[in-house]
C-alpha cells in the first residue's frame, strides 16, 4: 500500500507548502494589516527553505527511503539546496560544503561548539514523513529522529522533529481528539524543553486565542524547537477540521510565521483527503519544484471476487462491530481491496457493494465479512461475522478479540497503518 502512504505524504507536503508560502507573505510590511482581517495577500506566494527541505524528505520516501538513510537524505538536501530560499547562514554553508564533498558528520561536529542545533529546522520539514507513517507512531518517531540528526544533533532539535512527526502520524491515521494526539506525542518525546512545552500545550487546550497561547508557549520568534513546536501542535490539534482556520490562527500569533504555518499546514493536511486543500490558496501558491517530479507506483486496481479463488463461510458467527470510523478517503482505499502477489501473503480481500470480504489466500475460504454503513465523518462497520468451523479457521479467540483482529487487518493490510 505504498501509494497510499505516498499520497498522504504528498497531501501533507502540499499543506506544508501552502502554509509556508502564505506565512512568508506576512514578512512584507504592506501585507501585515491583512492578518487581522484574514484577507489573502496578493499572489503569487513563494515558498521558502522549509518547503524545499520537506520536498527532499518526500523524494527520499518516494524512493523507498524508510528507514531513513541519513547519507542519502543529507545528499538530497545538499543537491537541491537553493541559496535564495532563505536558509540560515550556518545551514547554507553546511549544505554547500556537503555538496562539495565534505563529510556531513564531521561538519556537524564543528557547528554550535559541538553541541548541535536546537533550531526548528528539523521540525519544519518532517510532517510529511509522519503522514507517510500514518498510524505507526513508533516508526514515525524513529525516522523523524534519523531525519533530524543530519542537521540538528541537539536533543531539543531532535525532540521537535519527533513531536511533529508523531502528531502528523496520529492525525493521518484518523485520530481527532486533541488531548489523545498530544498524549501520543508526550509518550514518544524525550524529557526536556520540547516535552515540557507540549505538556503545557495540552493544558492550554481550553483556550482559543492563539496570541494568548503563543504568549505562554512561544511562536518561533527565537527559532528554537522548544519555542516553536509546542504552539504549532496546539494550533494544529485545535483546528483539525478547518485547514484555513488553522493557518490563520497560526499566522496571527506572529513570530516565525512561515515556519509555524508550514508545520501546522503539514500536520493538518496529513488528515485530509487528497485534493481537499483550498483551491484558491493552491492557485496562489508557487508550484512544487520540478525536481520533485517522479512516477509513483501505479495505483492498484480494485479487487473483485473474480481475482482469486473464493469459498463461502461454512459456520459464520456474528461479531461485535468495531467502533472505529474510517474517513472517506480511507474507505476509498478499503474498497480497492487486496490481491496478494503470492500465496504467502495469506489474505485476499475485496468489497462488493458495502460488504468487505477477507479470504485465506491458500484455501480461498472466507474468514471475515463486514458490512459498512455511512455515518457522520466517514464509514463504520454495521455488522460483521467470522468463520467458526475449526477445520477452516482454528482460532479460539472470543468475539471481541476477533473483532479487534478484523479492525487491525483493515488498518494494516488495506491502509498500510503498521505500528
235 burial level (CB within 10 Å; 0-12, 13-18, 19+): buried
Element spanning 348, H or E? strand 347-352
Residue 49 labeled ligand binder: yes
Alpha-carbon distance of 378 to 117, in angstroms, equals 42
**Beta-carbon contacts of residue 167 (< 8 Å; ≥ 6 apart):** 130, 181, 182, 184, 185, 233, 236, 237, 267
Alpha-carbon distance of 354 to 332, in angstroms, equals 11
Q: Answer whether 134's CB lies under 8 Å from 329's CB.
A: no
Residue 258 labeled ligand binder: yes
Alpha-carbon distance of 410 to 255, in angstroms, equals 42
Grouping H, G, I as helix, E, B as strand and the rest as coil, residue 337 is coil
CA–chain centroid gap for 235, Å, is: 16
- Interaxial angle between packed helices 70-79 and 137-148, expressed in degrees from 0 to 180 and rounded to the nearest 10: 60
Residue 50 labeled ligand binder: yes
**Beta-carbon contacts of residue 373 (< 8 Å; ≥ 6 apart):** 354, 379, 380, 381, 382
Nine-digit cell string for 394: 482454528
Cα dihedral 239, 410, 5, 71 sign: positive
Residue 71 labeled ligand binder: no
Alpha-carbon distance of 162 to 233, in angstroms, equals 12
Q: Answer whether 284's CB lies under 8 Å from 40's CB.
A: yes
Dmax of the chain from CA atoms?
75
Cα separations in angstroms, 8 against 171, 247, 256, 275, 338: 11, 19, 26, 11, 19
Q: Quick one: which of 183, 134, 187, 173 has its CA closest to 324?
A: 173
Residue 227 labeled ligand binder: no
The b/e string for 108-127 (b: 16+ C-beta within 10 A; e otherwise) is beebbeeebbbbbbbbbbbb
Which residue positions form the known binding site?
48-50, 256, 258-259
Binding-site residues from annotation for Mg(2+): 48-50, 256, 258-259
Amino acid at each position: 500500500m505504498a501509494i497510499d502512504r505516498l499520497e498522504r505524504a504528498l497531501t501533507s507536503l502540499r499543506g506544508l507548502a501552502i502554509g509556508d508560502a502564505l506565512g512568508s507573505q506576512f514578512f512584507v510590511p504592506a501585507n501585515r494589516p491583512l492578518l487581522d482581517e484574514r484577507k489573502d495577500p496578493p499572489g503569487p506566494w513563494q515558498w521558502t527553505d522549509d518547503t524545499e527541505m520537506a520536498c527532499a524528505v518526500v523524494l527520499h520516501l518516494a524512493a523507498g527511503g524508510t528507514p531513513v538513510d541519513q547519507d542519502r537524505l543529507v545528499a538530497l538536501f545538499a543537491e537541491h539546496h537553493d541559496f535564495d530560499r532563505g536558509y540560515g547562514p550556518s545551514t547554507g554553508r553546511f549544505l554547500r560544503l556537503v555538496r562539495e564533498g565534505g563529510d556531513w558528520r564531521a561538519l556537524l561536529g564543528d557547528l554550535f561548539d559541538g553541541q548541535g542545533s536546537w533550531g526548528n529546522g528539523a521540525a519544519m520539514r518532517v510532517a510529511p514523513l509522519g503522514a507517510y507513517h500514518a498510524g505507526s507512531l513508533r516508526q514515525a518517531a524513529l525516522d523523524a529522529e534519523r531525519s533530524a540528526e543530519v542537521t540538528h544533533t541537539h536533543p531539543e532539535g531532535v525532540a521537535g522533529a519527533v513531536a511533529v512527526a508523531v502528531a502528523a502520524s496520529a492525525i493521518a491515521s484518523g485520530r481527532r481528539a486533541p488531548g489523545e494526539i498530544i498524549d501520543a506525542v508526550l509518550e514518544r518525546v524525550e524529557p526536556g524543553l520540547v516535552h515540557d512545552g507540549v505538556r503545557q500545550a495540552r493544558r492550554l487546550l481550553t483556550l482559543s486565542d492563539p496570541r494568548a497561547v503563543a504568549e505562554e508557549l512561544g511562536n518561533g520568534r527565537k527559532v528554537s524547537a522548544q519555542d516553536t513546536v509546542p504552539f504549532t501542535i496546539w494550533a494544529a490539534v485545535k483546528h483539525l477540521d478547518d485547514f484555513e482556520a488553522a493557518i490563520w490562527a497560526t499566522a496571527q500569533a506572529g513570530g516565525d510565521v512561515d515556519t509555524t504555518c508550514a508545520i501546522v499546514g503539514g500536520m493538518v493536511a496529513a488528515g485530509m483527503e487528497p485534493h481537499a486543500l483550498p483551491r484558491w490558496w493552491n492557485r496562489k501558491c508557487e508550484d512544487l519544484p520540478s525536481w520533485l517530479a517522479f512516477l509513483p507506483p501505479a495505483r492498484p486496481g480494485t479487487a473483485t471476487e473474480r481475482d482469486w479463488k473464493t469459498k463461502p463461510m461454512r459456520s459464520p458467527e456474528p461479531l461485535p462491530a468495531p467502533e472505529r470510523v474510517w474517513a472517506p478517503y480511507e474507505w476509498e482505499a478499503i474498497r480497492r481491496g487486496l490481491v496478494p502477489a503470492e500465496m504467502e501473503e495469506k489474505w485476499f480481500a475485496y468489497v462488493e457493494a458495502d460488504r468487505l470480504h477477507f479470504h485465506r489466500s491458500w484455501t480461498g475460504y472466507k474468514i471475515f465479512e463486514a458490512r459498512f454503513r455511512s455515518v457522520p465523518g466517514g464509514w463504520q462497520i454495521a455488522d460483521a461475522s467470522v468463520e467458526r468451523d475449526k477445520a477452516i479457521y482454528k482460532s479460539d479467540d472470543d468475539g471481541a478479540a476477533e473483532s479487534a483482529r478484523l479492525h487491525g487487518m483493515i488498518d494494516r493490510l488495506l491502509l498500510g497503518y503498521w505500528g
